[in-house]
Structure formats: structure tokens, C-alpha cells
Amino acid sequence: MFLTDLSLKRPVFATVIILALVSLGIISYVGLNINDYPEVEFPYVVVTVVQPGASPEQIETKIARKMEEAVGQISGVKHIYTTAREAVATVVVEFTLDTSPEVAAQDVRDKIGTIRGELPQDIEEPVIARLDPTAYPIVSMAVTGNIPQKEMTGIVNDLVKKRLETIKGVGNITVHGAQEREIQINLDKDKLAAYSLTTSEVLNSLRSENMEMPGGKISNSGREITLRTVGEVDKPADFLNLPVARRDGVQIYVKDIATVVDGVEEMDSLSRYQGKPAIGLDIIKQSGSNTVEVADTVKKAIEEVQKELPPGVNVEIVSDNSTYIKDSVKDVIRTIIEGAILAVLMVFIFLRDWRSTMISALAIPTSIISTFFAMKVMNFSLNFMSLMALSLSVGLLIDDAIVVIENIVRHRKMGKSPFAAAKEAAGEIGLAVTATTLTVVAVFLPVALMKGIVGQFFKQFGITVVFSVLVSLLVSFTLVPLLASRHLKETENTPPRSPLGRFLTWFNRGFDNLTVKYYHLLKLVLRHRWKTMALAMLLFVGSLMLVPMMGSSFIPSADFGEFTLEAELDAGLNLQAAGRMTDKLEALVQKYPEVTKTYSTINTDKVNIYVKMVDKKERERSVYQIAKDLRSELHKIPGIRAAIVLQAGLTVEKTVVFRMLGDDMNQLQTYAEQAQRIMESIPGAVDVGSSYVPGKPEGIIQIKQEAAADLGVSTAQVGDTLRTLFNGVVVSQFEDGEDRIDVRVRLSDSQRKELDDLSNIYLSSNNRPVGGGSNPRIALSQVTEQSYATAPSQIQRFDRAKEIVLSANLDGLSLGEFNKIFNERVEKEMQLPPGYSLTASGESERMGDTFNSMGLALITAVLFIFFILASQFESYIDPFAIMFSIPMAVVGAILGLLVVGSDLSLMSMIGVIMLMGLVTKNAILLIDFTKQRRAQGMERNEAILEAGLTRLRPIIMTTLAMIFGMLPLAMALGSGAESRAPMAHAVIGGLITSTMLTLVVVPVMYTFLDDLKNKVYAVTHRNKAPVSDAKH
């Protein structure tokens, strides 16, 4: 082996190479960012358009659909998600992953610009921005205190927010529940009527009064003077003295028709922390920055800001994502250390020598630390995926070193010198160990190269595993034989009479007895080859028949100690009524002793309550048990439709999501209700809900077209007047120091509560009197009719069709089982006409896409393994004997998942893929040694028997080291560790059965293929000696 020969001849050079890798790894580790997930660029662009006072139907028809048509023409558009709410249209455009986010944003900007003239004139300028679905808050905080909300808002904006915005790495800060200062000019409609004034006259006058304008400049005698016209008011009360109009020669001022209030804007949402009014701040980091570092800096800044706040005002941390990340990193590091210790102890039990054990154990820290260098070069971070790769690789990293050191020990026992034993032992198994490592590389490279969003996330996982095992291969053929040649002794270090020595003696005697029994078993199966193969195939087919009994899910659920209570309220409630309903919900949640924090966001139609619990180690009940108890209590509260949403990986959404698509909202609603009833009737489906919430009261102002035309009143006049009086219009801004305060004109609160308040409102006619004079005033009641109706609070669209989203959580039922039952019943009980469809979304859609990607990666891995084995053995047939160990691993993986109750999920599939590389390693050791002995002239069965006896120990050692190395991961002790555990469940189960079956079935399969090879050779080369691995 070239590397071993070089290391033995030039030990300083070999040592320096390894030390250089380790040094680079240590340096790189310090500079690695720490995040929860890999940073992936999502090509999403969001367009937001505001039209004050517009209903969802108006927003949909006049704005949203036109924008959909425009952006739908752009190349690379994958999906278009649209929401039309009161006064706001939001269009999210998803592009294919190969589209540049910058180019996508510019394309959308250009398309929206081309239709700007077709949109209503009174809309605010469209806001177009890139959207990152993973840009969620890393820290959320609440500011509470015993001062008015107006003053609190000023403190938040002027002190807290400004201070946090200066922190390096902070990208955006979103404020919730603030009451911004606003100068309100509250009109009195009766006084307007008395002076025959219209709202348009008032607005035009105010817009032309409170302003400052540049006036140019003058030059004289070499000097230049800038001119500025100043007409702004100095204080809010001065607005009362602004002129509005003249009637019969008398000047009418604002004070004659309105009052002026230095107040706050009308709230459309409220925030609470621990049941008390609060202002919330969400900190979103810049892309590429270190989550933990930014969060720590934010928290330190908050401590400093707290010292400057008035007494009684406090900043409280609601949620801190960096705490979860740090805990996860600690859990994974602990898992790696515990796994490494267990793996090393297992090696020691077999080798009974601390020197050889520690030599092989060096591969673990060396490989892991060196991998940090590769991660830095690839711009990876320490995150869930890369750390999961390292924890999964613990047993792998010592694998090659075990095989090498065990063979060196065996050669030493033959009486060879340390130098000769190291050189010859490494050379004997060099190709086999290289091939075994390359099969692992072949397995994980396709995972790293998967397409789609999942492929982007698993790139770091696959590359990290590949580099770590390649470093372990390098260590196994350089550092391990080098140290063994100098420090490995022939005698054992453990005194035979010590308790440990007696245990090791007893264990190894037991293993020697096992080896004898395995020898006889191997002789038996070689005599009964057909029966052996039949039994193996029966086990494989039987395990496949168990698959329908398994559940399937996307990402296994995990207890993160938090959840969100989402409650939809009856339509038509105002904010105060929604707040009273929130009181009941908060009181119910806070009576659970496990709950430590609640943060509520209150809207008129929906309430969200974020709930944080004590650490998992400090409570007896899981988050699932608490959620189940809470659901039963929530059902008793009238007027709400509540759901409990748990965090699942990157998303915080319900487990089941289906889209009902169609054109007619009434028909769509009918079909959605039918599908919802089916969903509700399935046992295990909980929190079933629909995105369609009908019944919001709506006042209809119907224009009398003929009367309006005769009287010279346009529809636009009516709409503008109503919007001004009831919604309000910002006509100017009041300058107070550095702040620019909006000045809003509208009716006083007491005059905008009922439809009857529309009486005594006047419009200006466009019909000029024949004899001249001012235009006549027309009462609103003359040209309109008022009525009540109901309308949805929002309209959702998907890919230019209306949609209603049905969703649910699952309790005791897997996602795959639910989908099967639901789809069968929908097909049986519902007949959707052309143009209407019901499609899976959310986790179901991601699960399908991911399983397809994993399936392709699996097939690719099998092909790569075959190519590597064919290259090593210079045979197209022998690799199939080794690859027969793969279905044997599937048997154990299925049984392992069934025994512990794990679903077939993304994580368990990663475990299965990993198994493919692991189990072929054992088979390679067997077949490679068999072929070596046959090449030396040994008879086939004798070669197989000797290979079994010789390779049994390293195979069992590596298998047990891998199993024990993964035990901490399988036990899922840390926060959120349940999501990683199924990988270990699949690997451990597969290793147990595949090792037992590989040791028996692979040799038998090899004999069948060898017979086949000889028969083929005999047919194609008549009158020639048959081909075999033996020399002739």
C-alpha cells in the first residue's frame, strides 16, 4: 500500500500532513457560523399592494388577478400564491431553483411596472421584495410597562429599535402591537352639512396649507440665496386655525367643522405578553451571519437598553432560537463523544490492549476536526444537517482503523516484527478497505447532489460525511500503521488476574466459541445452499410485507417545548371583543404548570398564542400530551375554532394540508365543506380547519346609476367620500423634531358606527348651475341605497385559481396512513367536475417529492457501488454477491423501525441509504479475503471458511462499534433529538440483521455466482479450463 509504505519510510512527513489537517480544522472551527439549518437561497418574490378601504373582492378583481397575469408571463415561474385581504393584495411568486433571486425580483418589478396604469389610481406604490421563507426571527421580545401605549411606542421606536438596528448581523426588525402617533382631524358631518361643505373641499384645502416648498434661488453681487416657502404648523393645535373654505364671504376654519387630537393610529391588532399589553419585536438576521453570535449580541444590547428605560418598563425575551441551536450543538457534541467512547470501549474489549485501541481511536477526533476545514472551504456552517452528519459518522470513522489495526495485531501474533506487521497487514487489506470507504462515498455523494429544496439542505450533510470518511481512510493507512509499528506491543497490557482482565478473558473465550459455531454453521449452509437462499429470500419478502404496517411521515415530530395556539374567531368581532376572547384562552393555557411564557397576537378574526414550556427534562408530560389535554378544553369554548400547531423542522404549520382549487367560490366552498367533513370523520385527525371563513358583515353602498347621472355625481366621488370619512385619509405630515407624524382626516368616532351614520353626508355635483355660482350639494342618500351582506375576510388563490386550504393535525395516525384513507374516501364519495381539484400540499407534497429524490439517490448509489466493486474485483459478476447484503439490511431496517415505533420518514430513509454503504463493507472483507486465498490456490469452500474465521472478528468489531456509536443518537435524549433518532433506529436494526445474514448468505451467494461464471466461461470457451479465482 503506497500510503502505508510512505508513512513508514517518512514518519515525520506523514505525521505533519495529519497535524496540518487537524490544525486547519481547529482554525476553521473557530470561524464557522452556527445556525439551525443550512442557508439556502429561495427564489421567491413578494408583491404587496395597498388600497385603503377596499374589500377582498375588490382587491382580487381589480389588483390581484391583473398582477397574476403579468407575473405569470415571466420565464421560470413555478407557482403563484395570492391573498386578497381587506385593503391589501399579496402575490408571492415562486421560481424554479435555477433562477437567480436578483433576476427574478427585477423581472417581477418590470412586469408590475408595465401594468401600473391598469391598477386603481388610489393604491399605494407596489412594494416588491425578495422573500426568504426561512427568514424567521432568531430572537423575539416583548416590551411591557405601566405607561400608555403611545409613550411605549415612542420608547420602542426611538430607543430599543434604533439601538438594535445598529448591531452587526441584524437584517430587519419587525414591530407588532405598536400605536404610532397620529394627528387626527375628526370631522363633524352635521357641521359639514350646515356649512354645505364636502370632504373633497376639506381635503384639498388641508393639502395646500400645511406644507413647505422650495422657491428657487436669487443671485446678487456674487452671492446666492436659496428661497424656501414655509407654511407648516408649529404645533398640532395650529391645525384648528387653518382655513378650509369661504361661504357668503365668511372664512370657515378647521375649528368650525372638526376637532384636532394629538393621538394614536387606530389599532388593527394587539400584542400581549403574559396577558399584559405589550409591543413585540422580531429580530431577523442578515443572510450569512452567525445566528448564535447575533442573538448573543442582541441580548447583551437589551441588557444595556434596560438600564436606560423608565421604571416599570421592561424588555422580556419571548423566544430565542439561538438557545435551541446551542442546545442542539451541545446534544450532538455529547452524542459524538458518548458514541466515540462506546465505540472505543467495544474495540478494547476485542483487542484487549489499550495501545492498539487508542491508535485506532485517533481516527475519530482526527477525522472530525479535519472535516471542519472542508466545511469552512465549502462555506458550510455548524447546523442541524452538518452536525447530524458528524454524529452519524462516529462509528464509520473508526471502522477502517479497526480493520487495519486488527489485521496488524493478527500479523504480530504470527511473530512478525512491528514494522513488517504494519506494512504487510495494511497491504493485505489495502484495496478492500479502500473499496469499503469508497462505497460509503458512493452512497452519500448522490444524497449531496439531490435536486430540489431537499437537495439544497442535504448537500452539507452528504459532503460532510464524504470528507470525514475520506480523512478516516487517510488516517487508517498513514497514522495507524505508523503508530502501530512503533508503539504496538505483542503482549496485552491488561493484567489477566484483574477484574477487567478476567472479564476480557471471559469475553474473548466466548467469542472464540462463537467463532467455532460460526465455522460449523458456515459449513452447513455451504452444503444446503438452496435452502439457505430460500430462507433469506423468505425473510426479505416477509419484511417487505411489513411495510404497509408502518406509518410514513416527512420529518419525525420532536418535542421542542413550544407550540402555537391558533384560534379563528366568529366573523364580525371588533378588536375589543377579540381581546376578551383572548383573555379566556390565555387563562386556560396559563393554568398548565409546564407553561412558562405566553405571547399573544390578536386580530379581529384570529388569535395566535405562542406558548413556551419548561425544558423537557424538567417536566413529566411531553408537548404532545399537553396539546392533547388542551384540545379537549378548547372544544368547550364557544365562538372559536382552535388548533395547536407544533414546530416541524423549518415549518410551523399543520401536518395535513390540502388545496381545493376552482373558479366559482360558491361551488368551491361546497366541495371544500364536503372534503372537510370527510377529514373530520377520520379517527386521528384533529384541529381540522378551513381557510375560508364566511360571514363577515359588510355594508353595501349601492349606487343609483340613473339618479347619480342626473345629479352629476360619479361612483368615484361616492367611494372617495366614504373612504375619507370612515377609513380616513392622510393629507399631510406634522414635523416634530426628526419625526414625521401622519395627519389623518376622517369622521369622529361617534359618527361612524352604523350605516345610519351615512345620512346627512353631502357630495358636490359636477353639474354647474346655468346662472353660475357654486356647484349644488347632493345628499348621499339621494344617489345610494344601503344594505347589509356577508363576505369572506380574505380570498386565497393558487396558480391563478381560487383556493380553499383544508388542514389538520394528526394524533396517533401517520401522515401516510391519513393520506391513504382520505384519498380513498374522496375518490369514492366526491365527484369533482372539470376545473376543480383537490391536491396535497404542505408536508404531504414535500414528503412525496423527497421520497422520489431519495429513491433516485438510492438507485444512483447502488450503481456507484456496483462500479466500485466491479473495478476492485475486475469482475461484473462478483459484485452481485456483495450487493446481495443490501436487501439483507432492509430486513433489519424495517424491523428496527417497527420495534421502536418509528415511521418511514426522511430521516429513516437517510439511515437506509447509509446502511447500503455499511453492509457492503462487511461483505467486501469476506469476498476479498476469499478471492485472495483462492488466488493462492486454495479450494473455494476452504477459502470461504478461512475468510469467515479470519474476518469474523473485524466484522463484528466494526459492526458493534457502529451500533454502540449510534446508541446515544437512537436514545433521543436532547431537545428535538426525536427527529434524528429514526436514522439510528434504521441503521442499528439493519446492521444487526445484515451482519448475521451477510456472514451466512453472502458466501453462499458467492458460490452460486462463481458456478454461474464457470458455466458461462465453459459455454463461451469450450475445450478450455474453467475460470475461477484460483491460479492454474
Q: DSSP labels for 581-642?
A: HHHHHHHHHHTSTTEEEEEEEE-SSEEEEEEEE--GGG-SS-HHHHHHHHHHHHTTSTTEEE
Residues recorded for the chain: 1032
Q: What is the mean pLDDT of the chain?
A: 85
pLDDT at 1032 (0 to 100)? 38
pLDDT of the residue at 953? 85
Give the lowest-confidence range in 492-496, 703-707, 738-742: 492-496
Q: Give the residue from 780, 786, 782 showing the smallest Cα distance to 755.
A: 786
For residues 27 and 52, state if they share a domain: no
Is residue 728, in this structure, part of any structural domain at all?
yes
Question: Residue 813 in 3-state DSSP?
Answer: coil
pLDDT band at 134 (very low <50, low <70, confident <90, very high): low
- Position 162 scores a pLDDT of 92
pLDDT given for residue 651 in this prediction:
56
pLDDT digits (tens, 9 = 90+) for 221-273: 778 788 777 778 888 898 999 998 888 888 999 999 999 999 888 888 899 99
575 domain residue, yes or no: yes
Please give the pLDDT value at position 1031.
44
pLDDT tens digits, residue range 269-303?
899 999 999 999 999 988 778 889 999 999 999 99
937 and 958 part of one domain: yes
Q: What is the pLDDT of residue 1?
A: 66
Q: Are residues 27 and 108 in the same domain?
A: no
Q: Is beta strand 279-285 parallel, antiparallel or unpaired with respect to 139-144?
A: antiparallel
Alpha-helical segments (H) within 773-841: 780-783, 815-829
Decide if 376 is inside a domain.
yes
Name the residue type at position 445.
Answer: L
Task: Check which CATH number belongs to the domain holding 638 and give it.
Answer: 3.30.70.1430
* 880 and 1014 inside one domain: yes
What CATH number is associated with residue 363? 1.20.1640.10
Band of pLDDT at residue 1026, cut at 50, 70 and 90: low
Contact of 909 with 851, CB cutoff 8 Å: yes
* Segment 310-365, tens digit of pLDDT: 998 999 999 998 888 888 788 778 878 887 888 788 888 887 778 888 888 888 88
Question: In the listed set 791, 825, 840, which residue is the last one of a domain according to the structure?
Answer: 791
Instruction: Count how many domains the chain has.
Output: 5
Cα 281 from Cα 156, distance rounded (Å): 9
52 and 19 share a domain?
no
CATH of the domain at 775: 3.30.2090.10
For residues 917 and 990, membership in a common domain is answered with yes
Q: Does residue 122 or residue 47 have the better pLDDT?
A: 47
What is the predicted pLDDT for the residue at 595? 93
Distance CA 967, CA 982 (A): 11
Beta bridge partners of 91: 47, 82
Domain assignment of residue 574, given as a range: 562-648
Q: Is residue 278 part of a domain?
A: no
Residue 395 has pLDDT above 80, yes or no: no
Confidence of residue 971 (pLDDT cuts 50, 70, 90): confident
Whether residues 715 and 600 share a domain: the answer is: no
* Domain final position from 133, 168, 194: 133
pLDDT in tens, 807-854: 998 888 888 889 999 999 999 999 899 989 999 888 888 788 888 888
Which residue, chain included where needed, has cell 364671504? Answer: 249
Same domain, 90 and 22: no
In terms of domains, do 704 and 585 share one? no
Q: Maximum CA pair distance of the chain? A: 129
- Domain-located, residue 849: no
Contacts of 388 (CB under 8 A, 6+ apart): 332, 461, 980, 983
Quick: pLDDT tens for 579-598.
Answer: 999 999 999 999 999 999 99
User: What pLDDT does residue 1015 have?
Assistant: 84
* pLDDT for the residue numbered 992: 87
Contact yes or no for 997/902 (Cβ under 8 A): no
In this structure, are 518 and 575 located in the same domain?
A: no
**What does the pLDDT average to over 744-767?**
80
Report which of 650, 843, 899 is spatially closest to residue 35, judged by C-alpha positions: 650
Helix (H) or strand (E) holding 196: none
DSSP 353-402: -HHHHHHHHTHHHHHHHHHHHHHHHTT--B-HHHHHHHHHHHHHHTHHHH
Q: Nearest Cα to 744, choosing from 5, 176, 217, 53?
A: 53
CA-derived radius of gyration, the chain? 37
Q: CA-CA distance, 752 to 744, in Å (whole number)?
A: 15
What would the 3-class secondary structure string for 828-877 be?
HHCCCCCCCEEEEEHHHHHHHHHHHHHHHHHHHHHHHHHHHHHHHHCCCC
Query: Can you give the pLDDT at residue 502?
Result: 81
Instruction: Decide if 321 is inside a domain.
Output: no
Instruction: Kindly report which listed range (106-110, 658-662, 663-667, 762-766) carries the lowest average pLDDT score.
Output: 762-766
Confidence check: pLDDT of 396 > 80: no
Mean pLDDT confidence for 660-670: 90
Q: What is d(CA 815, CA 251) in angstroms, rounded to the nearest whole number?
A: 73
Are residues 760 and 642 part of one domain?
no
Query: Of all helices (H) and strands (E), which one includes residue 145?
Result: none
- pLDDT at 27 > cutoff 90: yes
Shared domain for 371 and 433, answered yes or no, is yes
Three-class SS of residue 271?
Answer: strand
Task: Classify residue 88: in a domain, yes or no.
Answer: yes
The proportion of the chain whose per-residue pLDDT surpasses 90, expressed as a percent, equals 27
Q: 595-653: per-residue pLDDT in tens?
A: 999 999 998 888 999 999 998 888 888 888 998 899 889 888 888 888 888 865 555 67
Bridge partners of 261, per DSSP, are: 184
Task: Report yes or no on 801 lying in a domain.
Answer: no
2 or 796, which is more confident? 796
* Other C-beta atoms lying within 10 Å of the C-beta of residue 779: 15
pLDDT at 649: 53
pLDDT at residue 492 tops 60: no
pTM of the model: 0.80
Residue reference for cell 462463537: 514
Averaged pLDDT, 784-788? 81
Q: Dig out the grid coordinates for 264 from the structure.
A: 394614536
In this prediction, residue 788 has a pLDDT band, given cuts at 50, 70 and 90, of confident
Residue 956, pLDDT score: 87
